[in-house]
Structure 1
Amino acid sequence: MAKGPSTGLAPLFDRLADDSPFQPAERPSAAALVHQALAESVRAELSRLLNTRRDTIPRRAELTVIDYGVADWTGLSSQRETDRRRFATSIVRAITAFEPRLQSPAVEVELLEPKRWALKIRISGHLWLHQERWPVAFVADVTKGMETRIEHERLD
């Protein structure tokens, strides 16, 4: 088995949030997450990522903080397979740049019939925790103009 990160460190914004601002020190276990908590943290970050739009053309070859989110897809047609593949590629690129805890991300984008502007997105990959790697999947139903809600698809 390949080695991965030894702990599931919470994202920066989760670590900056202080649930007990009047306590002088954080609990030591706050940085390391258990399997379900790690999957939930990744799900929440994927939700933020998919609900944030960036310009269709990034400022640099490599995405930076200013490019956070997925490329604006409102100009694409959910009816065209090539546009759905383009949207999936944009999601993979955003995940690779901004959610590195999800390793080897794969994205499938399907048209939800009979809704013309509705898509189903399935994001899969692997998470690492304490030298252990396990598969995860998240699904989302996307409708233009609506918030994208993501659910953790249990594989265990």
Structure 2
Amino acid sequence: MRQSELRAPLFERLRQVDEVFDRTAMAASVAGELERLLNTRCGHALAGNAPGILGYGLADWTMFQSGHESDRRYLARALRQAIERFEPRLQLSSIEVQHDPCRPQRLHLRLHGQLRQGGQRWPALFVVSREGETVEVHHE
């Protein structure tokens, strides 16, 4: 897909026929899509490999320990694959998986990159936190 063809998800375009996505609306749309993507689980065998929507989401990452470097690297790699595949409006430059020494199973992620729409690009930072079983995504 060419960069000029990157558009909002179909249902958002249908709902907002006369509206143009500005930077704030686009960031909110991407945050919502990231939240859906990161809250969806697929099997380890399917993650990143299955064609189409069968590979949508991430393998279960609730048991990852933020204190383990290998877990942080694996999660960053899996996140990058899923985001590049299913959210093309966000071009990632880096993913930070932050360690909380007081709560090793609690993960905080920072996704740095650029939002892309047509020929326009805007810097973007999305903060991802997991509270229990739910992942929340906020744009800063």
RMSD (CA atoms):
2.4
CA 1:59/1:98 → structure 2, altered by over 3 Å: closer, same or farther? closer
Which of 112, 116, 120 is the equivalent residue of 1:128? 116
What TM-score, normalized to structure 2?
A: 0.84
Partner secondary structure for residue 4 of structure 2 = coil
Percent identity between the two aligned chains: 37
Give the structure 2 partner of residue 9 of structure 1: 7
Q: Does 1:53 align with 2:41?
A: yes
> CA offsets per residue over residues 51-101 of structure 1, 9 Å max, x none?
111111227746521111112123433321111110111111000110001
Larger helix proportion, structure 1 or 2? 2
Matches within 5 A, 1:6-85: 9-15=7-13, 18=15, 27-29=17-19, 32-58=20-46, 61=49, 63-85=51-73
Larger radius of gyration: 1
CA 1:91/1:63 → structure 2, altered by over 3 Å: closer, same or farther? farther
CA contact (8 A) 1:9 1:33 kept: no
Matches within 5 A, 1:97-112: 97-112=85-100
What TM-score, normalized to structure 1?
A: 0.76
Give the structure 2 partner of residue 149 of structure 1: 136
Structure 2 unpaired stretches of 5+:
none
Displacement of 1:108: 1.2
Q: How many residues align?
A: 139
Give the 4+ runs in structure 1 shifted more than 6 A. none
